[in-house]
């Protein structure tokens, strides 16, 4: 087997850098090896970086510029398409409204929100046409029309990449390649556009609890993260330290979520991560704005999730979790976050 390239290697945290074209277009041996690298990355670190994935780089650049234009809109226009309920999980989320954490008790989340609210705003886009939960699109000008068209196309492209990565996981686990297809075909996923506004360095200096996004795990199966070059994402290492997940141009960072951990009976890790103060600016006392796009992938909301055969029994131990409905689980987690 060829040696595995690393994207991050520190404090016993090894996050692999995987050439995904080997799985998409390689020989049988290359596809198997790439799948094994991906699975091991999720088992050991909970994170991987993919290069040569299926989404063109100019597409990602266009999504970022279109996202920035939306966040430049007047606050009242953004509030007019605001987020409403966990069941919908669509629309604009203003600064300080969400507090991501590892907590599930709403009162406890509210307490830490008061101490150090997340320094970000976001826009959530779900599957278009889902009954009873329409997307909250801006309207009234050509920029709004372009925003909708761009994000719907990107949502579809990310859905395809989600399916491809889950097929790689299946191959790595020794399952039929299409094992997860019946859980991913609907596309009950959420595209989150994120804007971390510019902030003075003193904000972090004066409040040691302040972060741009708090320590948390993600809820679903996997998350596709496209980040700019500002930095700030950190992943918790086996040594208990937080390690910088540095931006690498042209890659997508993918992490496993809580439902995939349950699905695998914890043989795959859902690893804690956060967004903190980025590296100090070369001049001045202000950190520039940071943008990212996170595509949160979930099993179809009508599917039950329980441990996959082969992940429990014998030396592997019993099933750790009761079966749970995918959609119900997501609503439960979101209700504590907002």
Does 1 fall in a domain? no
User: What is the CA 303 to chain-centroid distance, rounded?
Assistant: 21
Q: Torsion angle, CA of 258/274/81/334, rounded to 10 degrees?
A: 30
By the 8 A CB rule, do 223 and 257 touch?
Answer: yes
- As a whole number, the mean pLDDT across the chain is 89
**How far is the C-alpha of 231 from the C-alpha of 279, rounded, in Å?**
7
Judged by average pLDDT, the poorest of 12-26, 101-115, 117-131, 214-228 is 101-115
% of residues, the chain, pLDDT over 70: 86
For residue range 23-67, what is the model confidence (pLDDT) as tens digits?
Answer: 999 999 999 999 999 999 999 999 999 999 999 999 999 999 999
**How far is the C-alpha of 39 from the C-alpha of 21, rounded, in Å?**
16
pLDDT at 109: 41
For residue range 260-292, what is the model confidence (pLDDT) as tens digits?
Answer: 999 999 999 999 999 876 666 556 777 788 899
DSSP secondary structure of 210-248: --SEEEE--SSSEEEEEE-SS--EEEE-TTS-EEE----
β-sheet bridge partners, residue 294? 192, 225
pLDDT bin (cut points 50, 70, 90) of residue 114 is: very low
Does 239 fall in a domain? yes
pLDDT exceeds 90 at position 170: yes
Per the structure, how many domains does the chain have? 1
CATH number at residue 31: 2.60.120.330
By the 8 A CB rule, do 231 and 244 touch?
Answer: yes
The range of the structural domain enclosing residue 259 comes to: 6-337
Does 162 fall in a domain? yes
Query: Six-digit token pair at 275?
Result: 């967004």
For residue range 59-95, what is the model confidence (pLDDT) as tens digits?
Answer: 999 999 999 999 999 999 999 999 988 889 999 998 8
- Whose CA is closest to 190, among 147, 233, 146, 223? 223
- Whose CA is closest to 214, among 327, 51, 96? 96
Does 35 fall in a domain? yes
Residue 62 has φ and ψ, to the nearest 5°, of: -65, -40
- Whose CA is closest to 224, among 195, 185, 251, 264? 251
Does 143 fall in a domain? yes
By the 8 A CB rule, do 70 and 80 touch?
Answer: no
**How far is the C-alpha of 103 from the C-alpha of 67, rounded, in Å?**
29
% of residues, the chain, pLDDT over 90: 75
**How far is the C-alpha of 180 from the C-alpha of 192, rounded, in Å?**
23
Does 221 fall in a domain? yes
Range 188-196 average pLDDT: 96
pLDDT bin (cut points 50, 70, 90) of residue 115 is: very low
**How far is the C-alpha of 76 from the C-alpha of 279, rounded, in Å?**
32
Strand, coil or helix: 305: strand
């Amino acid at each position: 087997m060829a040696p595995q390239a690393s994207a991050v290697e520190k404090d016993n945290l090894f996050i692999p850098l995987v050439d995904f074209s080997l799985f998409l277009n390689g020989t049988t041996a290359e596809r198997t090896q790439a799948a094994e690298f991906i699975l091991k990355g999720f088992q050991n670190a909970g994170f991987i970086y993919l290069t040569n994935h299926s989404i063109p780089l100019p597409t990602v650049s266009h999504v970022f510029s279109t996202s920035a234009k939306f966040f430049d809109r007047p606050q009242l226009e953004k509030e007019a398409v605001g987020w409403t309920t966990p069941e919908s999980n669509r629309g604009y989320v203003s600064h300080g409204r969400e507090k991501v954490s590892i907590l599930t008790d709403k009162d406890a989340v509210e307490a830490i929100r008061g101490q150090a609210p997340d320094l970000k705003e976001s826009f959530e886009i779900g599957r278009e046409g889902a009954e009873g939960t329409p997307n909250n699109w801006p309207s009234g000008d050509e920029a709004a029309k372009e925003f909708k068209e761009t994000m719907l196309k990107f949502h579809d492209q990310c859905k395809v990449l989600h399916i491809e990565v889950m097929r790689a996981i299946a191959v790595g686990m020794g399952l039929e390649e299409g094992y997860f297809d019946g859980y991913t075909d609907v596309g009950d996923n959420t595209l989150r556009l994120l804007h971390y506004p510019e902030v003075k360095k003193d904000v972090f200096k004066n409040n040691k609890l302040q972060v741009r996004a708090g320590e948390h795990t993600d809820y679903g199966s996997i998350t596709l993260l496209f980040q700019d070059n500002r930095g700030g994402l950190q992943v918790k290492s086996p040594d208990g330290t937080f390690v910088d997940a540095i931006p690498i141009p042209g890659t997508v960072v993918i992490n496993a979520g809580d439902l995939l951990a349950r699905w695998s009976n914890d043989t795959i890790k859902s690893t804690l991560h956060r967004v903190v103060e980025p590296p100090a600016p070369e001049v001045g006392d202000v950190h520039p704005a940071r943008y990212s796009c996170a595509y949160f992938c979930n099993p179809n909301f009508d599917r039950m999730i329980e441990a996959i055969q082969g992940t429990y029994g014998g030396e592997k131990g019993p099933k750790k979790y009761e079966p749970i409905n995918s959609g119900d689980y997501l609503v439960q987690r979101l209700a504590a976050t907002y």
